[in-house]
Amino acid sequence: MAVVRARVGLAVANGLYGYWPHAPYDRIVAACSVRTVPEAWLAQTGPGGKILTPLAGWLYGYARVLLTTTGTAEGPAL
């Protein structure tokens, strides 16, 4: 069995702009809720990458979504 070691990092930055220094990313996990997924996140996630974020809606409604990127992003609400 092969052991895969990955470098994990934490960036504290303005989520609207993402964090370019180490892009592209395989995964983006956001703790903040957004109304729409920022374009920077799509641009900074490599093909087949995952974005996990809470989406906020009207009247305090929200859902956590797991998106897979392929130039655009799609996936289920969890």
Mean pLDDT across the chain, nearest whole number? 84
Strands 25-29 and 45-56 come out as parallel
Q: Which residue matches tokens 């490599």?
A: 46
Looking at residue 23, its pLDDT comes to 87
Confidence tier at 77 by pLDDT (50, 70, 90)? confident
Q: What is the pTM of this model?
A: 0.79
Identify the DSSP state of 31.
S
Query: CA 49, CA 70: separation in Å to the nearest integer?
Result: 8
Query: CA 19, CA 55: separation in Å to the nearest integer?
Result: 20
Confidence tier at 60 by pLDDT (50, 70, 90)? confident
